[in-house]
Amino acid sequence: MSRVLIVIVAVALAAGSLAGTAMAQVAAPALNPAALQTTALNPAVLQWSAPSRVSLGYFKGENTVYNAAGTQVQHVNLPGTIVQGRVVGDHVSASAEQLRLKIEPDGAPGWDYRETQLALAGQIGGAVALGAGQDQVVQNPPPAGVDVKDTLALGGLSMRFGERVYLGIVSGKEKHQDPAVPDASRSVMRYGLGYGYHDKMDGFHAEYYHEQREALQIEVVPGVFSTQDEEKWDTGVLEFAVSGFYLGLVERKMSVITTGQPNFDERRHAVNVGWVPDQGFSVVLHVEKRDRTLANGNTADRPRQWITVAYLF
C-alpha cells in the first residue's frame, strides 16, 4: 500500500480507538474491575473506584469490510494484550492502563498499535472528585515506520449525590502528531448520569453518557486530507453483581457527521460475564459486536473479544 493509503487506514483505525466499548465510567464507577478503557474516560471517577487492583488480559479483534454486493474487500486481524493497575486511596488515587495490538491487514504489511491511559484523581469533601488524565495512541504504519500519535489530554469532574447517584463532566483536547504532516487538534466533551452501588459481593450500575468530538482534518500529503469527522456517541450501560456473579450489558451508537456527505452510524452491542468478588481474583469475559454502514454503501463487521484476570486488594 502507498504511504497515503497506509496513513489513511491508520487514522481511520485510530478513530474512537481500536479497543472495545468502555463500561461507561463517565459518572459512576464500573463494577467490572478490569473494564477496558475506563482509566481516562473520566479520571475523576477513579476516586470512587475502590478497591485497588492489578489485571492482565488477552485481546482479539477483527475489522472486515464488505461492499454493497456482499464481497469482502478488506480484512484486518487485531491480536493483543492488556495490562492495568490502579491504587485507590482515601483522598488521592492513580491509575495506568496499556493495550498493545498488532495490526495485521490481509495482503499488506502490519504494524504496532499501543494505547496508554493515565489518570490521577483527588477528592474534595465527600461528594466531589476532580481528575486529570491522558489517553495516547501510538502507531508506526509502514513504509516509514515512524510513530504517529493521537493524544487526548483531559480533565474531569464527578459529583456524588447521597451514596448512589453520580454526575460526571469531562473536557479535553485531542492532538494528532505525525512527523510527515502538520499537527492537527480538536475538542472532546463528555457528560453522563449514573446510579450505582457495590456492597461486597453484590452491586448494580446503570449509566448513560454522551460524547462529542469536533471534526479533525489531517493533511497526509500536501493537498490530500484524511478527515476524522465530527463524532457523537451515546452509550448506555447496565451492570449486575449477585453473590459475585457478574453480568454487564452495553449499547452504544456512534453518529459520524461529514460536511457535504451522507452521515453514517455505528452500533455496538457488548456482553460481559464473569466472577467479581470484593477481594481476591476476578475473571471477566467480554464479547462485543459492531455494525457500521459506511457513507459509500460498504458495511463493516468489527467484533471484539477479550478476557481479563484481576486481583483486587
- Report the candidate in 246, 172, 178, 234 with the shortest Cα–Cα distance to residue 208: 234
Q: Whole-prediction pTM value?
A: 0.84
pLDDT, position 237 = 95
d(CA 291, CA 254): 10
- Report the candidate in 169, 165, 168, 167 with the shortest Cα–Cα distance to residue 196: 165
pLDDT, position 249 = 95
pLDDT, position 259 = 62
d(CA 296, CA 179): 30
- What is the CB neighbour count within 10 angstroms for residue 150? 24
d(CA 49, CA 36): 14
Handedness of CA 304, 210, 29, 100 (dihedral sign): positive
pLDDT, position 298 = 76
- Report the candidate in 158, 137, 160 with the shortest Cα–Cα distance to residue 148: 137
In a structure prediction context, what are the per-residue pLDDT tens digits for the chain, which is 313 residues long? 444 334 434 444 444 455 555 556 899 999 998 888 777 889 999 999 999 999 999 999 998 888 877 788 889 999 999 999 999 999 999 999 999 999 999 988 899 999 999 999 999 988 999 999 999 999 988 877 788 899 999 999 999 999 899 999 999 999 988 887 788 889 999 999 999 999 989 999 999 999 999 887 777 666 666 666 788 899 999 999 999 999 999 999 988 776 656 567 788 899 999 999 989 999 999 999 887 776 667 777 888 999 999 999 9
Q: Kindly report the backbone phi and psi dihedral angles of residue 179, in degrees, each rounded to the nearest multiple of 5, phi listed first.
A: -55, -20
Topology classification of domain 3-312: Porin (2.40.160)
Handedness of CA 56, 57, 58, 64 (dihedral sign): negative
Q: How many CA atoms lie within 13 A of 96 on its CB side?
A: 1
pLDDT, position 15 = 41
Three-state helix/strand/coil letters over the chain: CCHHHHHHHHHHHHCCCCCCCCCCCCCCCCCCCCCCCCCCCCHHHHHHCCCCEEEEEEEEEEEEEECCCCCEEEEEEEEEEEEEEEEECCCEEEEEEEEEEEEEECCCCCEEEEEEEEEEEEEECCCEEEEEEEEEEEECCCCCCCCEEEEEEEEEEEEEECCCEEEEEEEEEEEEEECCEEEEEEEEEEEEEEEEEEECCEEEEEEEEEEEECCEEEEEECCEEEEECEEEEEEEEEEEEECCEEEEEEEEEEEEECCCCCCEEEEEEEEEEEECCCCEEEEEEEEEEEEEECCCCCEEECCEEEEEEEEEC
Q: Which three cell numbers stand for residue 253?
A: 451508537
Q: Which three cell numbers stand for residue 53?
A: 487492583
266 within 8 A of 253, measured Cβ to Cβ = yes
